Amino acid sequence: MSTPINWLAADFAVAPQLSPDQVRALAAQGFKSVINNRQEHEPGQPPEAELRAAAAEANLRYERQPVNPAQIRMEDVARFAELMETLPRPILAFCRSGSRSSILYRAVIEGVHRR
């Protein structure tokens, strides 16, 4: 099962919703960390415990930062920036389509949380 990865930088990528098997496969692709930007109870996502366990099995750092796609707040961007600064790279962030994670990444790169 291939993972549709969109590289935004040499050490940062985004993807749509991942399965536990896809999370396990990320380590073989060189990733060191995963950020889950989906909120609780969004449809079509595996249980959080399964994703977290898959990351642990693959020796990946796993962080869950739930973000409302309809209302990304400055606090969300600041937290994402913190994760980007502290997690081992390369990092893969995911959400339902990859869009939310991409928006967060671009906001951090543009420094909107520092204005």
Domain ranges of the chain: 6-87+100-114
Class of the CATH domain delimited by 6-87+100-114: alpha beta
Tens of pLDDT along 24-60? 999 999 999 999 999 988 888 999 999 999 999 999 9
Model confidence at 23: pLDDT above 60: yes
Cβ atoms within 10 A of the Cβ of 62, count?
18
Indicate whether 82 pLDDT > 80. yes
> Residue 109: what pLDDT?
95
- Which stretches within the chain are classed as H helix? 20-26, 48-57, 74-86, 99-110
% of the chain exceeding 70 in pLDDT = 97
Mean pLDDT of 71-83: 96
